[in-house]
């Protein structure tokens, strides 16, 4: 027989309302009472029904994850991190993929929030970097947390997680320079993502610091996709003076660049070093495995969700703005520079 909130209340010797307050993590419950209820919940293996809670009261216990990202691994990591925190704090998760470039995107988001009775939203790029989305959520009075690329102090509009793509890209480029590479190609991601510009700028600044002139012809526009890596690398490798290394804006691009190099009979890393970004499975499923920047997306998502739920409950978080800097992870796709083939 399914355990109910009545069973928990009887077992703990408290009222149903007190159990509800403990489950909703309200601050008005004495610690001794809270511990007694939590022990009863654990002993009876009680699973709160968030949907029923939403219908029964004025409060909503659902948050939404809104995304538009072609990288399935990124989306799965984010989803798992958000879901882990939701389960920990007795919230439901609504997942809403949508097209950030659609003309009616603001109306679509508004309708979803109203119909699903959403109390908070987790925003990832590009939505977290779109002023129109931020303005509409603010007008609706919906709590939100933003995950976005940046290394400067935020605006204070909402809780946020900043990913310091600039410093990570700088470190990756310095790694290649330390191996003797000077002709370093760069295949970018989509320009609708701020991370693209942060990573390019980190690459540029590292070259400048080491007195290496930035060759604009080695910077290729692209998208965050495998095919973009294939196309970009093919273009770079067909040049008379090809680069000795390629910085790919993410691991999916890097995997495509490695594939194109193999088709051109170019040995990796002996003839060409390739690096990626994010430490997704793409970087570990190739041969050789790809040097990258380790970005803990699941942890980032979980922390962002904890900040959001604290905001929903009007609990003061210790730090409403957190920063993660992806760390260099050296694998077998990079080695000392070799003169470019003519």
Domain check: are 171 and 316 in the same one? no
Q: How confident is the model at residue 49 (pLDDT cuts 50, 70, 90)?
A: low
State whether 151 and 175 are in the same domain.
no
Q: Please indicate, yes or no, whether residues 128 and 277 belong to a single structural domain of this protein.
A: no
Do residues 113 and 197 both lie within one domain? no
Quote the pLDDT of residue 269: 97
Q: What percent of the chain has pLDDT over 90?
A: 66
- The rounded mean pLDDT for the chain is 89
Residue 333 lies in a domain: no
Instruction: Count how many domains the chain has.
Output: 3
- Report the C-alpha gap between 84 and 79 in whole angstroms: 9
CA atoms of 217 and 338, how far apart (whole Å) = 20
Say how far apart CA 148 and CA 323 lie, in whole Å. 10
Q: Is the pLDDT of residue 240 over 80?
A: yes
Alpha helix ranges (H) inside 89-223: 105-116, 131-140, 165-178, 194-209
Same domain, residue pair 194 and 262:
yes
Q: What are phi and psi of 26, to 5 degrees?
A: -75, 145
- Please tell me whether residues 175 and 264 are part of one structural domain: yes
pLDDT score, position 17: 66
pTM of model > 0.85: no
- CA 27-155-96 angle, to 5 degrees, is 70
158 & 275 share domain: no
In a domain, 336, yes or no: no
Examine the domain organization and report whether 188 and 173 are in the same domain: yes
Residue 279 sits in the same domain as residue 182? yes
Report the pLDDT averaged over residues 218-232.
Answer: 96
pLDDT digits (tens, 9 = 90+) for 172-183: 999 999 999 999
pLDDT recorded at residue 52 = 44
Same domain, 78 and 92: yes
The pLDDT score that the predictor gives to residue 24 is: 65
Q: Are residues 85 and 229 in the same domain?
A: no
Structural domain for 189, as ranges:
165-294
> What CATH code is carried by the domain that includes residue 246?
3.40.50.2300
Domain membership of residue 160 (yes or no) is yes
| 44 pLDDT tier (thresholds 50, 70, 90) | confident
Omega of the bond leading into 181 within 30 degrees of 0 (cis): no
User: Residue 27: is its pLDDT beyond 80?
Assistant: no
Tell me whether residue 332 is in a domain: no
pLDDT category of residue 54 using cuts at 50, 70 and 90: very low
Q: What kind and span of H or E run contains 210?
A: none
**C-alpha span between 333 and 342 (Å, rounded):** 22
């Amino acid at each position: 027989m399914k355990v109910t909130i009545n069973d928990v209340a009887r077992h703990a010797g408290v009222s149903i309302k007190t159990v509800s307050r403990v489950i909703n993590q309200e601050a008005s419950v004495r610690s001794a009472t809270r511990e007694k209820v939590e022990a009863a919940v654990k002993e009876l293996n009680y699973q709160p029904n968030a949907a029923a809670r939403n219908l029964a009261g004025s409060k909503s216990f659902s948050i939404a994850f809104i995304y538009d990202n072609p990288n399935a691994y990124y989306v799965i990591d984010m989803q798992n991190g958000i879901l882990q925190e939701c389960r920990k704090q007795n919230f439901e998760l609504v997942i809403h993929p949508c097209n950030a470039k659609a003309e009616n995107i603001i109306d679509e988001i508004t309708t979803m929030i109203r119909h699903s009775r959403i109390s908070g939203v987790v925003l990832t790029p590009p939505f977290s970097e779109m002023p129109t989305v931020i303005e509409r959520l603010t007008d609706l009075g919906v709590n939100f947390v933003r995950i976005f690329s940046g290394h400067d102090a935020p605006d204070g509009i909402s809780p946020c997680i900043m990913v310091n793509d600039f410093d990570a890209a700088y470190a990756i480029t310095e790694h290649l320079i330390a191996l003797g590479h000077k002709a370093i190609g760069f295949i970018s991601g989509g320009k609708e993502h701020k991370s693209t510009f942060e990573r390019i700028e980190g690459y540029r600044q590292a070259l400048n610091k080491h007195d290496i002139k930035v060759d604009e012809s080695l910077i290729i526009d692209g998208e965050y996709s495998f095919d973009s890596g294939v196309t970009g690398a093919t273009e770079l490798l067909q040049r008379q003076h090809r680069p000795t290394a390629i910085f790919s804006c993410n691991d999916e691009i890097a995997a495509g660049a490695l594939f194109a190099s193999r088709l051109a009979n170019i040995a990796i890393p002996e003839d060409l070093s390739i690096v990626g970004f994010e430490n997704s499975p793409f970087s570990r499923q190739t041969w050789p495995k790809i040097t990258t920047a380790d970005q803990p997306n699941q942890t980032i998502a979980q922390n962002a969700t904890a900040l959001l739920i604290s905001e929903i409950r009007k609990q003061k978080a210790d730090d409403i703005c957190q920063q993660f800097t992806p760390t260099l992870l050296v694998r077998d796709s990079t080695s000392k520079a070799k003169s470019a083939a003519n």
